[in-house]
Amino acid sequence: MRLYDRLFSVEDPEESGDFLANLNPQSLEVIANAKIEPSVAGAAPLTRYQFERLGYFCVDRDSTDERMVFNRTATLKESK
C-alpha cells in the first residue's frame, strides 16, 4: 500500500523562496505487509477499489501475482 498525502507542508511552498524546504516528509507512507481481501488478488492494473475506512485505491502497474501494489487516490475524510 502506498498512502499519499500532501506534497508540501505549507499552502504556498514558494513563499519562503525555496520550495524544496517545504516538502512534506510524510507525503508517502508505504505499508509493506498490508493484508487485503483474497478476492482482490490478481486484479488488473488500474482497477479501482474502495477499502473501508481507508479510502479509494488503484492497482499499480508495479503489481505482480506475488505482490500486489495499491496506491491511495483519495481518502474518505479530510484529516486536516
**Rounded distance between C-alpha atoms, residue 76 and residue 51, angstroms:** 9
pLDDT at 76: 85
pLDDT at 52: 84
Q: How many residues does the chain have?
A: 80
Residue with the three cell numbers 510524510 = 26
Could you tell me the sign of the dihedral formed by the alpha carbons of 69, 3, 31, 49, in that order?
negative
Q: What residues does each domain of the chain span?
A: 2-74
pLDDT at 1: 94
Query: Could you read off the pLDDT of 38-80 as tens digits, one per residue?
Result: 889 889 999 999 988 889 999 999 999 889 999 999 988 765 5
Look up the CATH number of domain 2-74. 2.40.240.10
C-alpha cell at 53: 475506512
pTM, two decimal places = 0.78
35: DSSP letter: -
Compute the average pLDDT of residues 17-35.
90
